Amino acid sequence: MQSHSELLTGIAIVVAVPIVAALAISGGTKAMLAVGGLAAAAIGVYVGIRHPQWLAWGLAAALGFMPFGYFPGIHLPMYLPFAGGVVLAAIVHRGGPAVFHPLEKALIVFVLVSGVSLIFTGRTVVDVGEFIKWSVATLTVVALLRFPRDVLAKFGRIYVYFAALNGLFGIIVVAADPTHRFIKAFSAFGYGLVETGRFVYTDEGAQRFARLGGLWVDPNMAGVGLTIALAVGVLLLTGPLRVGVVTILSVAILLTLSRAAIFSVLVGVILVLLFHGMRARNRALVLGAMGAVAAGAMLTPAVRTRLFSSFSSDDVGSSARGDALRAFPGQMAGHWPFGLGWGRPEFKDGNTAFTLNFVANVPLITIYRAGLIVGFAFLVVLAIGCIMSSRAIRGDSGARALYGGIFIGVCLVALQLDHMVATIQQVTLMFSILLVFLVVVDQDQKSSRHAQTAAEEPVTNRSYSPLLR
């Protein structure tokens, strides 16, 4: 039963919306934009106060399906108000004193020392804006972990479902849409307005193969989003649903031809096989699944050629990475303490990034942008995550073990082969999701170890505001 105040609020919205819309239409485009902005702000405030979990679920859907989409009619990224709203909701709806996980503490320190670097290198509004957007994306980890476990689990499942739907769309494009017309169906959200050919094809010697980009557009970004969705899906889904979703995500990862994503998952599976205790039957099933995936990959010319050419002399990507690494010390000369700055053109413009060919490595690009101190803080975050992951691999849950293995794989492979987790806020948010559920895995791991003495003890002693439920 709805309360009297909630009913009155609903009636007011139903009555006011048609009136405001009519006034906006009669006032022209500027009036429409102004009223639209005010309406969005009002709705955001209402949702943030009354139903903050909706912001989290909206963020999951946006990141999973249209991470680079814009709200129709206004040049506002879809992810940004959701992420900002989640952070603000966590601040407004505080329950009791917060209990922070060690990984959360490390992230907060990471953001603080990054702010110090901004003081020394920030010269323009662009620098400040980039830092704020990155901070929101990073602190979303802390904000999401303030929500109760059931809300967090639903957030993860929504992200997985929408990422799988995005991956399925990408599979259809690769299989049946060589001219990429299907993406124009999302033109109202900012997709298909510019040529995306260079993002979805790769030259391998004399051959050219389509790469899955989906609504991530860039295949390497798709690889990151799909890999994280795969890890979260294995953790949160069960039964036939898990099998179906994981199959879609696995096929999509292969079709991205992203070596970073493919080898990250492969490293994770190998770590589980080596260090996780499992029954012989389960080990045989894992090996059989790996064999089936490997056979499918080898039977697909694009995947086979991409993997076997990874370290050949005509692999342009490997050569460019080597050139960037050799140039890195010279680029950093005189800038080691606090980096070169946050709002640099190579972080904002793809053509400038391709021309400059700066280092494609997340730890190094963190140093490039904000200096050695910030780079060290980021490495501490990764080290804590890898320690947590190693505990999960040695634990009693296969799903948690694979999650930990994939996290280590991402740290050892994906973060070393590309820079997007550091420089593109949507991808930073995807990595934040990976960190959120790594904390959940670690909490479950500790709870499992102490179950014999405290079977009914809650996983965490946080106190939640009722409105976050």
Q: Is the pLDDT of residue 17 over 50?
A: no
Percent of the chain with pLDDT over 70: 77
Residue 260 lies in a domain: yes
Q: What are phi and psi of 334, to 5 degrees?
A: 85, 0
User: Are 293 and 151 within one domain?
Assistant: yes
Coil/strand/helix, residue 191: coil
Place of tokens 């889904």: 237
Please give the structure tokens belonging to residue 43: 């709705």
Q: Is the pLDDT of residue 163 over 70?
A: yes
Place of tokens 């997007």: 420
User: Are 440 and 385 within one domain?
Assistant: yes
Q: Is the pLDDT of residue 246 over 50?
A: yes
Residue 1 lies in a domain: no
pLDDT grade, residue 41 (50/70/90)? low
User: Are 61 and 141 within one domain?
Assistant: no
- Distance of alpha carbon 153 from alpha carbon 155, whole angstroms: 5
User: Are 86 and 156 within one domain?
Assistant: no
More confident residue, 97 or 288: 288
Amino acid at position 215, single letter: L
Residue 6 lies in a domain: no
Decide which of 37, 69, 92 is a domain's last residue: 92
Contact present, 160 and 232 (Cβ < 8 Å): yes
What's the domain count of the chain?
2
Residue 2 lies in a domain: no
Lowest mean pLDDT among 104-113, 173-182, 308-317, 344-353: 308-317
Please give the structure tokens belonging to residue 422: 């550091």
Long-range contacts of 201-206 (CB under 8 A, 24+ apart): 202/257, 202/306, 203/316, 204/305, 204/306, 204/309, 204/314, 204/315, 205/305, 205/309, 205/314
Residue 464 lies in a domain: no
User: Are 347 and 275 within one domain?
Assistant: yes
User: Are 72 and 160 within one domain?
Assistant: no
Residue 38 sits in which domain range?
19-92
Residue 243 lies in a domain: yes
Please give the structure tokens belonging to residue 446: 């500790």
pLDDT of the residue at 287? 85
Decide which of 61, 92, 123 is a domain's last residue: 92
Lowest mean pLDDT among 141-150, 312-321, 409-418, 460-469: 460-469
User: Are 83 and 175 within one domain?
Assistant: no
- Distance of alpha carbon 196 from alpha carbon 164, whole angstroms: 21
Mean pLDDT (the chain, rounded): 83
pLDDT of the residue at 465? 42
pLDDT of the residue at 436? 98
Calculate ∠ Cα 396-412-423, nearest 5°: 120
Q: How many CB atoms lie within 10 A of CB 429?
A: 28
Residue 7 lies in a domain: no
pLDDT grade, residue 458 (50/70/90)? low
Q: Is the pLDDT of residue 232 over 80?
A: yes
pLDDT of the residue at 21? 46
Closest C-alpha among 86, 68, 119 to residue 432: 86
Residue 349 lies in a domain: yes
More confident residue, 137 or 204: 137
pLDDT of the residue at 279? 82
Contact present, 27 and 124 (Cβ < 8 Å): no
Please give the structure tokens belonging to residue 34: 């102004």
Please give the structure tokens belonging to residue 330: 């010279």
User: Are 52 and 28 within one domain?
Assistant: yes
pLDDT tens digit string along 164-206?
Answer: 999 999 999 999 988 888 998 999 999 987 666 555 555 555 5
User: Are 141 and 42 within one domain?
Assistant: no
More confident residue, 457 or 217: 217
Beta pairing partners, 208: 203
User: Are 79 and 223 within one domain?
Assistant: no
User: Are 39 and 88 within one domain?
Assistant: yes
Mean pLDDT for the stretch of residues 52-76:
90
Percent of the chain with pLDDT over 90: 52
Mean pLDDT for the stretch of residues 52-78:
90
Q: Is the pLDDT of residue 208 over 60?
A: yes
Lowest mean pLDDT among 17-26, 218-227, 405-414: 17-26
pLDDT tens digit string along 90-134?
Answer: 887 766 667 899 999 999 999 999 999 999 998 899 999 999 999
Decide which of 92, 116, 137 is a domain's last residue: 92
Q: Is the pLDDT of residue 467 over 50?
A: no
DSSP 214-277: GGG-SHHHHHHHHHHHHHHHHHH--HHHHHHHHHHHHHHHHHHT-HHHHHHHHHHHHHHHHHS-
User: Are 137 and 223 within one domain?
Assistant: yes
Q: What are phi and psi of 70, to 5 degrees?
A: -120, 150
